[in-house]
Amino acid sequence: MTATILVGAQWGDEGKGRVADWLASESDVVARFAGGDNAGHTVYVGDRVYKLHLIPSGILHEHVTCVLGNGMVVNPVNLVREIEELERSGVRVSPERLVISTRAHVITPAHIALDMASEKARGADAIGTTLRGIGPAYLDKTGRQGLRAGDMADVESFADALCERIEKANATLVEHGLEPLSPREAAENYIEAARRLSPFLRDTSMYLNARLREGARVLCEGAQGTMLDIDHGDYPFVTSSSPTSGGALTGLGFGPRYVERVVGVAKCFSTRVGAGPMPTELEGPLADRLRGTGENFWDEFGTTTGRPRRCGWLDAVMLRYAAQVNGFTEMVITKLDVLSGFDELKIAVAYELDGERLENPPEMLAALRRVRPLYETLPGWQEAIGGVRRWADLPRAAQAYLERIETLVGVPVTTVSVGPERDQLVFRS
């Protein structure tokens, strides 16, 4: 058993990128299994900050091969731009180091325009998407009319198919009072990107199964988080794919017998971007303190959109649910250093709905909007912990906070991040 699945346990933005970077150091292959460039993983190495949207953070390790799996939707132009940015930073990106599934779907200019049109039409009920064309691309995939990355191997045919889909989308855009796209102009950059990416295309399911049979260590890297899963999240305020552990298998094309670990990543407080219920959301000075000013790259502002994130106390009800849906074998808690200086901390241990105590979130949105979090208050700590590297050296109140999380969730906390740098990790022996 040589596969590890890395999953966000909240609404995304849990710090999976830096955890993936750590786990990649002991992996041979790192494979993305869902989503597109709506994801944003920030990794801090030395004095350099890498912001990755499509390429797995394993690319920062020379020995790792990175895979964009069949469950993803890929914007070819943005992928080429990301490759070029990495290469300018001295990171080698070649077909030997990056493999793109021929079955991954292509995000077209039409998808991006339709995403904007859809959000505009929703008005006050907008989902709060990243406007990257993710939803419309997945709609075309399930509607069996999408373009797949493998189509880029024949550039001329790909160009014709792309223009045809743009022309079809124009009717919808005009209907929404938006300017239609020029098919040839919109397709121009895509045609050049297709030429550039053609050598990277491969049957990644066959590749991964072969590597797993050889005993290679494969890290499956997710995007977004459990509560944004299309089936298991706060529908309809969800993404269009399955960022849970089950999605890793369908999004990469291998069976569960290879899976050894399912690692859940959770921030030590709650954040969310976009619309949708968030029972422990705070406003005012407490929320601002958790969020930060935006001056630092680790403050709570979206990597992809730059939008300020909604912030609140840790929601153990949601974490318990995420552990159940994913089958976590362990948890990594991130950003513990942010909580230094609080006199007291709160954790939502249950909800109340119409006088009834709930240990798990209600399945319907209308009920979830009405729940009231039931908090447990724990003592905080004043010490700065960025220099701590041993569990025993954490303040006793910090240890108690982490121990309470694992008791409430029923999953051991094995690793804690205490700062943004690669080595600011505390491993529990």
SS3 286: helix
> Residue ranges per domain, the chain?
3-94+203-427, 105-199
Average pLDDT, stretch 403-423? 95
Looking at the domain 105-199, which fold is it?
Adenylosuccinate Synthetase, subunit A; domain 2 (1.10.300)
Q: pLDDT band at 343, cuts 50/70/90?
A: very high
Half-sphere CA count of 207, side-chain side, radius 13 A:
25
| Backbone φ, ψ for residue 345 (5° rounding) | -130, 150
Rounded Cα gap, residues 403 and 317, in angstroms: 16
Stated as kind and residue range, the H or E segment containing 314 is strand 314-315
**Higher confidence at residue 4 or residue 185?**
4
Q: What is the pTM of this model?
A: 0.92
pLDDT digits (tens, 9 = 90+) for 347-402: 999 999 999 999 999 999 999 999 999 999 999 999 999 999 999 999 999 999 99
Alpha-carbon distances of 23 from 3, 86, 91, 380, 415, rounded to whole Å: 11, 20, 18, 30, 11
Least confident range of 77-86, 118-127, 189-198, 413-422: 118-127
Please state, for a pLDDT cut of 70, what percent of the chain lies above it. 95
Average pLDDT, stretch 342-349? 97
**Tell me, what's the pLDDT at 301?**
84
**Tell me, what's the pLDDT at 116?**
83
Least confident range of 113-127, 199-213, 238-252: 113-127
Nearest to 380 by CA among 395, 397, 365: 397
**Higher confidence at residue 121 or residue 362?**
362
Which residues contact residue 154 at a Cβ distance below 8 angstroms, ignoring those fewer than 6 apart? Answer: none
Place of tokens 């999380």: 405
pLDDT of 298 > 70? The answer is yes
Q: pLDDT band at 49, cuts 50/70/90?
A: confident
- Cite the active site residues: 13, 41
* CA-based max dimension of the chain: 64
**Tell me, what's the pLDDT at 317?**
98
Kindly write down the DSSP assignment for every residue of 113-125, as one continuous string.
Answer: HHHHHHHHHHGGG
Whole-angstrom distance between the N-terminal and C-terminal Cα of the chain? 22
**Tell me, what's the pLDDT at 41?**
66
Nearest to 269 by CA among 130, 76, 405, 421: 405
Nearest to 102 by CA among 193, 223, 213, 197: 197
Which residues contact residue 187 at a Cβ distance below 8 angstroms, ignoring those fewer than 6 apart? Answer: 109, 159, 162, 163, 166
Alpha-helix residue ranges (DSSP H) falling in 93-199: 109-122, 134-142, 155-175, 183-197
**Tell me, what's the pLDDT at 279?**
97
Q: Which residues pair with 51 in a beta bridge?
A: 42
**Tell me, what's the pLDDT at 44?**
66
**Tell me, what's the pLDDT at 180?**
92
CB 37 within 8 A of CB 78: yes
Place of tokens 């890793």: 248
Average pLDDT, stretch 410-416? 97
**Tell me, what's the pLDDT at 124?**
61
In 3-131, beta strands by DSSP E: 3-8, 29-32, 41-45, 48-52, 65-68, 73-74, 98-101, 105-106
CB 162 within 8 A of CB 118: no
Q: What is the mean pLDDT of the chain?
A: 92
Rounded Cα gap, residues 189 and 360, in angstroms: 48
Rounded Cα gap, residues 10 and 21, in angstroms: 19
CATH number for domain 3-94+203-427, candidates 3.90.170.10, 3.40.50.10860, 1.10.8.50, 3.40.190.10:
3.90.170.10
Pairing of strands 344-353, 356-358: antiparallel
Average pLDDT, stretch 60-84? 96
Nearest to 3 by CA among 269, 213, 235: 213
Least confident range of 16-25, 36-45, 217-226, 329-338: 36-45
CB 261 within 8 A of CB 4: yes
Least confident range of 42-51, 288-297, 304-313, 374-383: 42-51
**Tell me, what's the pLDDT at 232?**
96
Place of tokens 């907008």: 126
